[in-house]
Structure formats: structure tokens, C-alpha cells
Structure 1
Amino acid sequence: MITIHCLAYSRAIRLIWLMEDLGQPYDLVRYDRTDAFRAPQALRDVHPLGKSPVIEDGDLRLAESASCLRYLTRKFDDHTHTPDPGSAAFAQHEEMLDYVESSFAAACMRVLLPAMKGEEVAEKARDTLQMHLGYIAQSLPDHGLLFGDAATLADIQMSYLLANLAAGGFLAETPRVATYWNDLQKQPGYIAATNVAGPMAPDL
């Protein structure tokens, strides 16, 4: 059985969402954050960087959200969370899935980290974030999620950062992305995952 190591308010909720969608059993190991909002030593004992998520499947231990999401869909032979393989939409999906943590996350952290500390967010950081939010808005259809009405891996991957941006009030200037975030929260897997593991983002 898959074990998911889940730090509170972390990217691990993405994997719980997918497992709930798939209807697959899993063991959940929870970790509270320290007073400094860091991973506790117990999670560092699981992964040297204190990563969350980390999944275990027999002798395999795997971190990084996108890698874990892809692994789980292959393990359970799931074809419902990506467009048809070989299609242009599939290639675009894979790009968006990787974009979230390779590019978008850095822009988000430049506004979220000072906001969490009660510090002023630099104008350049706000501008960079708005550039990325504009890109996401342009990538979305007029209605629905990235590739239709049902959540794909890319949507699940996107959710964590949007949750934190929404908590900090950073989606107000991009109404299409704000609507997208509202639609993600209506997905059954999101509802199930947050019922199990709590919210994706703390109140900022």
C-alpha cells in the first residue's frame, strides 16, 4: 500500500487528492509544522530535505509532487487525469504540470514569504507574479479547468499555489484565475483531500 508523508499545509495534499480520485487505499502519516513553520525533525528523518510530499511504495521512496503524481497514475493504470497520450493537449498538459514548480512556484514564493512574515512585498515581485497569473489566465479556456471540466494532474499541481495566493489576497487582480481556483475547490477530490488532511494554505 502507498504511504503518504504529509506535512500540514503542504504540497502533499495534491497526492491525497489524486488517491481519493482513484479510490485507492493509502496510509497517511501526518506531521505538524514547527513554530517557525518548518518541517519537524521526524520528516527530515524520512527525507534529508524534509520534503513533503514523500511517498513510499515497498522499497521505493519518492519525493517531488509531479514525479509522485506521474508515478501513481502509472501504478494504477489511470488515464483519467491527463488528455489522450499522443495528442497536442497531452504535450501541453505535461508542460503545464512541470511549469507549476519549475517556474510559477518561484514567482509565488517571492510574494508569499514576505506576506507570511508581515513584510512589504516588493513591487517587482508583484509584477512578476501578475505576469505569471496572466499567462495562466491565457492558458485557461473561457470556462472550466485547464483541459476540461474534470481535474487533470496539472490542475491538481496548480491548486496548492493558488490556495496560498488566494489566502494572501493575490488573485484579486486576475479574475479568471480566481474563478479557476473556485472551480478547483468544487472538485470531489479536492473536497475529500482537504477533509482528510486539512486546508492547503494557512490564513495569511
Structure 2
Amino acid sequence: MLKIYHAKNTRSLRIVWLCEELGIPYEIQTLNFTPADLQSEAYLAVHPLGKVPSIDDDGLILNESGAIVQYLLAKHGNGRLEPKPGTAGHGRFLHWLHFAEATFMVPLGNIAQHAFIRPEDQRIPQVAAEAQVAARKMLSIVDRELAGKDFICGPDFTAADTMMGYSLHLCKMFGLLTDDYPNASAYFARLAARPGFRKATA
């Protein structure tokens, strides 16, 4: 059975959520977001950087959330939660799936590190401040994209929404997802109401 290494409110949320949406059987190996768990010898054998998510699918270990999403779609999706490959819609799907991690998560990660995670004497306030400006720019882009749409790729929920939903989850936690972004706020409310999201954030 698919094993998901998961810590609360981390990127692994995306993988648990996707499995719930696709009905993929899985077991969770819960980790605390602490060096004792993430930097343990046992977990470093799974993920050499001591981060989450990781999956172990019958011996295949993967660590990147976007790659895991694409792998699970290819293995279990049967055409669900993504447009048909080779179409313009699929191109847009891939764009937003990867934007959520490769672009949006950069400033969010800096906010997390320099406002919350690192010891206070290791935080750089200017990094956190600049990251907030960048994150708001990303929110503006997403907000414009969502005008007149229920989900990031159109009328239908896709796996790109599990990627983007986590980024917005952090924005909400950091106090960035405000009424200044009405489309993104309404979109996140729709995502947060889904049973799969509620299960992944429980």
C-alpha cells in the first residue's frame, strides 16, 4: 500500500488530499515537524533533506510534491482530475500545478522560515518583509486568473487545485489571504469545504 510521510500543515497535505479525491488507498506515517523526526537517521534514508512529503509506493520513493501528484495521476487517475494530455487545457493545468510550488512557494517558504520556524536570532526581518511583498504579487496573479472561474483551471476541480490550495492555505495562516483578493478568497473557501481537504488538514 502507498505510504505517505506526512507532517501537519506541510506540503504533504497535497498528497493526502489528492489520494482522498482519487480514492487511492494509503497509510500515513505521521511525523512531527521537528529535527528529532525529520532529521532522524531513519527518515533521512527516505528523504536525504529531511523534508516532507515523501511517498513509498512498493519501494519507489519520491520526494517532490509536484512529481508525486503527476505520478499518482498517471498511475491511478484514469483521466480524472486533469485535462487530456496534449491539449491546451492540459498545458494550462501543468502551468498552475507547477506555479503553485516553483513560484508561489518561494516567498511563502521565506516567510515561514524568517517569521516562524527559525530561532529568532537567525531570522532576517527584511527577508520576511520582501517575501510578503512577493507573496502578495503572486496572490494578485492568482486572483486575476480566478475571475469568473470556480477553480484554477476552469469550471472543474483538478489536481492543480490541490497544489494551489496548499499555497493558499499558507497564505491564510500567514494573514495574507484578505478581502483584497476576493476571487482567491472565495476559491479557497470552496477548496476548504471539500471533504478531502478537511481530511488532509485534520
TM-score, normalised on structure 2?
0.85
Aligned twin of 1:176: 183
Aligned to 1:92, the other structure's residue is in SS state: helix
The answer on whether the counterparts of 1:7 and 1:31 sit within 8 Å (CA) in structure 2 is yes
Amino-acid identity (%): 29
For 1:182 and 1:97, how far apart are their aligned partners in 2? Answer: 19
- The residue aligned with 2:199 is 192
- Cα offset, 1:40, TM superposition: 4.2
Measured in 2, the distance between the counterparts of 1:46 and 1:84 equals 33
Checking the alignment, whether the CA contact within 8 Å between 2:107 and 2:135 is kept in structure 1 is yes
> Corresponding residue for 1:202?
none
Give SS of 2:30's match: strand
- The more displaced of 103-112 and 151-160 is 103-112
Alignment correspondent of 1:66: 66
Higher helix share: 2
For residues 37 and 165 of structure 2, what CA distance do their matches in structure 1 show?
Answer: 21
- 2:146 maps to what in 1? 140
**What root-mean-square deviation, in Å, do the aligned CA atoms of Structure 1 and Structure 2 show?**
2.2
CA gap of 1:125–1:24, structure 2 versus 1, over 3 A, is closer
State the partner residue of 2:8: 8
Q: For the residues of structure 1 that align with 2:143 and 2:17, how far apart are their CA atoms?
A: 23
Within 1, Cα distance between the matches of 2:54 and 2:170? 20
Per-residue CA shift, 1:168-189, capped at 9, x if unaligned?
A: 2111132221221111101222
Structure 2: which 5+ residue stretches go unaligned? Answer: none
In 2: Cα distance, 1:16 partner to 1:104 partner: 20
Deviation at 1:33, TM superposition (A): 1.9
Contact 1:112 1:165 in 2 (8 A): no
**8 Å contact kept, 1:6–1:52:** yes
The amino acid of 2:186's aligned partner reads T
Q: Distance in 2 between matches of 1:149 and 1:188?
A: 18
- Find the counterpart in structure 2 of residue 51 from structure 1: 51
Aligned length, in residue pairs: 194
Q: Is 1:166 the equivalent of 2:172?
A: yes
For residues 75 and 160 of structure 2, the distance between their equivalents in structure 1, rounded to whole angstroms, comes to 18
TM score, norm. by length of structure 1: 0.84
Structure 2 matches for 1:30-41, cutoff 5 A?
Answer: 30-34=30-34, 39-41=38-40
- Name the structure, 1 or 2, with higher relative contact order (CA <8 Å, separation 6+): 1
User: Using the alignment, how far apart are the partners of 1:123 and 1:28 within structure 2?
Assistant: 35
Residues 78 and 193 of structure 1: CA distance in aligned 2, closer, same or farther (over 3 Å)? farther
CA–CA distance in structure 2, aligned partners of residues 6 and 147 of structure 1: 27
Unmatched tracts of structure 1, length 5 or more? 199-204
Instruction: Summarize deviations over 1:102-125 as a string: whole Å, max 9, x none.
Output: 111112223333332687565533
Moved segments of 4+, more than 6 Å: none
Aligned residue identity for 2:69: L
Which residue identity does 1:92 align to in structure 2?
A: R
